[in-house]
Amino acid sequence: MNLFDLYGRVVIVTGGGGGIGLEMGRGLEGADALVTNASRFQRGG
């Protein structure tokens, strides 16, 4: 059982180009959410 089951949920992460926003997006993705990162800059991994 997943502690956070976000299957089928859509999440928009602002500031997702790096730092905390990027890591939050990755964590939410790991909980099966559909993640879109929004940022003014193109960075990240």
Residues 1-45 have pLDDT tens digits of: 567 789 999 999 988 788 898 899 999 999 999 999 888 876 655
Please report, for the chain, the start and end positions of each structural domain, with discontinuous segments joined by +: 1-45
16 vs 7, 20, 31, 40, CA distance in Å?
20, 8, 17, 9
- Given this model, what pLDDT does residue 44 score? 56
- Given this model, what pLDDT does residue 39 score? 82
Q: How far apart are CA 25 and CA 27, in angstroms?
A: 5
- Given this model, what pLDDT does residue 4 score? 78
Q: How far apart are CA 20 and CA 7, in angstroms?
A: 22
Confidence (pTM): 0.75
